[in-house]
Amino acid sequence: MSETTEGTLLGGRVKYRQFAKGHRSGFEPVLLAAAVPAKPGDHVLEAGCGAGAALLCLAHRVPGISGIGAEIDSDLVDLANENFRNNGLHGVYAEKSDATRLPKNPVFDHVMANPPWHNAASTNSPDLSRALAHHAGPEVLAAWTTSLVRSLKPRGTITLILPAAAFAESAACLQTHGCGGISLLPLWPRAGQPAKQIIIFATRGAKSENKILAGLSLHDKSGISPEADAILRDGKSLTWI
């Protein structure tokens, strides 16, 4: 296994190792986990779990969930499982699996992912693991969405974190596969700046109206905003209004 670095998530509450080179976790998995409306006893899937950051954060916030991380990279599967063990999580594990070819078995209460998304104007990273994590062909978002929704129970939820430019494609994919009540949460770098990322949330089989939420400003003039800090350091949830 490649060299790893020792770190923490949620202000030191969660132990976290990740590879020193290649794709490294940022805000995204913590924010993703904060948006999942899981309850104790729920069964959760994360596609493309990497070293397990999102599942670690969700399991810390909601003790008693069970979870599976689907990850195509065998080394990341091993590292994620080590992270789960190091944090005393016995009902959460990772397995080698292609996110676009998940079993057609609706067993999960919630699914979440930070999918790779194609942007024709961007350049692939020379690092293969970073390229796989961030950049993919134009059909990949649809393939991930199709696979994830098939694994959801009726009235189960799907939560994705994506580049802002992907919102229309993502919403269309969700509607095509019978998901409604779509909520879009813009993630503003700072107040008054265009959102670079979004969180999009939907429920399988829901008929409720779609909505755009107020959004979250990640920074203010002093640094990380108090609202973002409560999520990133204190493990608070994002409230869907």
Question: For 12, phi and psi rounded to 5 degrees?
Answer: 95, 0
Determine contact, residues 7/17, Cβ cutoff 8 Å.
yes
For 11-47, what is each residue's pLDDT tens digit?
999 999 999 887 788 899 999 999 999 999 999 999 9
For 157-166, what is each residue's pLDDT tens digit?
999 999 999 9
For 104-149, what is each residue's pLDDT tens digit?
999 999 999 999 986 655 444 444 444 444 445 568 999 999 999 9
pLDDT averaged over the chain?
91
> Domain boundaries in the chain?
4-232
What is the share, in percent, of the chain residues with pLDDT greater than 90? 84
The token duo for 127 is: 């690092």
- How many other C-beta atoms can be found within 10 angstroms of the C-beta atom of residue 12? 9
Kindly report whether the global pTM for this prediction surpasses the value 0.85. yes
The token duo for 241 is: 């209004």
Q: Is the pLDDT of residue 207 over 50?
A: yes
User: 20-24, 49-53, 204-208, 211-215: lowest mean pLDDT where?
Assistant: 20-24
CATH number of 4-232: 3.40.50.150
What pLDDT score does 66 carry?
97
Determine contact, residues 196/27, Cβ cutoff 8 Å.
no
Handedness of CA 118, 22, 30, 145 (dihedral sign): positive
What pLDDT score does 240 carry?
67
What pLDDT score does 241 carry?
54
Determine contact, residues 29/52, Cβ cutoff 8 Å.
no
> Pairing mode, if any, of strands 14-19 and 43-47?
unpaired
What pLDDT score does 139 carry?
86
